Amino acid sequence: MVTLNNGIEMPRLGIGTYILSNEQAEESVYAALMAGTRLIDTARIYGNEEGVGRGIVRAGVPREEVFLTTKLWTADFADAAVAIDASLMRLGQDYVDLLLLHHEDAYDEEAYRAMEEAVAAGKVRSIGISNFYEDGFDRIVNMGVANRADGCVAITHNEAIVDGRHPTFDLGFVTVIPVQAGFNRLHSVDKCVGYVLVLSDGTSVYVTGDTSTTDDMRDGTLAAMNLDYAFWCCDGVYNMGPAEAAEAAAMVGAANNIPYHNSTTDEGERFDREAAAQFAAPNAMVVYPGEDLEL
C-alpha cells in the first residue's frame, strides 16, 4: 500500500483497462478481483466505465476493499461537475476512490475545483492530476495551498527565473531573493530555484530547494548575505546527500544549518533521523517532526 496525502491507502499494483471494450473490461476486472487484485483503473476516454462497473458488481468483492480510479477527459473540463456524475452513473458506483484530470488543457483549474467539490460531497475520496507538464503541475499545486491568507503571493520558478536572471520580490513584510538551484541530472538550473527570505526584522532564511552544490554557494554569493538560517535539502537520491550538503553549508557559512527533505520514502515518517545525524555541517541544528523553530 501507499498512503496518499489525505491518509487514504492505495494499493501499489492493480489492473489498467486502456483500449479494452466494455465486454473485455468486465471480464478483466472480474478476473482480476477474483485473483486478489484490488486496484482498478479506468477513464472516461477509455469508453469502458460501464464494463468496469459491471465487473466490480459481478465479482461481489466488498466495495470498501476495491480502490477504483477514473479520470476526467479534457473535453469534460468546462462542465466537470456533470462529467463526474456521468462517470459515477456509468460505473454504477456512489463514489470513486481516486479521480484524476487526465491531461493538462483549457479549463483544468475549473475542473480541479469541481473535483474538490465532489470530495466534499462524498462522491470522490481523493483527487489528483496526470500527464501534466511541469508548469501546469506547479499551477495546479499552487491552487491547492490550504489556508492561503488574503494577499498571498505564490512565486514559482516561472516568476523567479526571467531570461536567466533572478529578480527580487519586495513584499513589505518579507523580501524574497531567488537564487540558483538544480545543478544535477534530475533538476535543471533553468527550472529550479532556491530562496533567501529576509524578514522585516532583518532575519534571513535560505531554503536550498531541489539542488546539488551551486555556483552561488561556491563563489561566495550566499556567504556574503550573512544568513541566519539555512535549510538544506539532502535526500541523497534526487539531490545532494548529507555529506555534500555539509560541505556546501561550510561554504555558505549560515549561523544555523538545518537538514530537511532527507528521506524519499512513500510510507511512514518522511524524516530520516539517521541521515540527519550524518549532516555534519558547522552550526548544524536538527529540527525533528513535531518540533517548532522560533526565528
What residues act catalytically? Answer: 46
Rounded CA-CA distance 136/138 in Å is: 5
Rounded CA-CA distance 80/93 in Å is: 17
Say what angle helices 108-120 and 134-143 make with each other, to 10 degrees: 40
Q: What does the angle CA 213 – CA 214 – CA 219 come to, to the nearest 5 degrees? A: 115
CA 272, distance to chain mean position in Å, is 19
Query: Which residue has cell 527533505?
Result: 261
- Lateral strand order in the sheet of 39-41: 15-16, 39-41, 67-72, 98-101, 127-129
Centre a 10 Å sphere on the Cβ of residue 106 and count the other Cβ atoms it contains. 10
Q: How do 174-180 and 193-199 pair as beta strands?
A: antiparallel
Give the chain's count of helices (H) and strands (E): 9, 13
HSE (CB half, 13 Å, CA atoms) of 252?
35
Return the exposure string of 127-151: e unless at least 16 CB atoms fall within 10 Å of the residue's CB, then b: bbbeebeeebebbbeeeeeeeeeee
CA 34, distance to chain mean position in Å, is 33
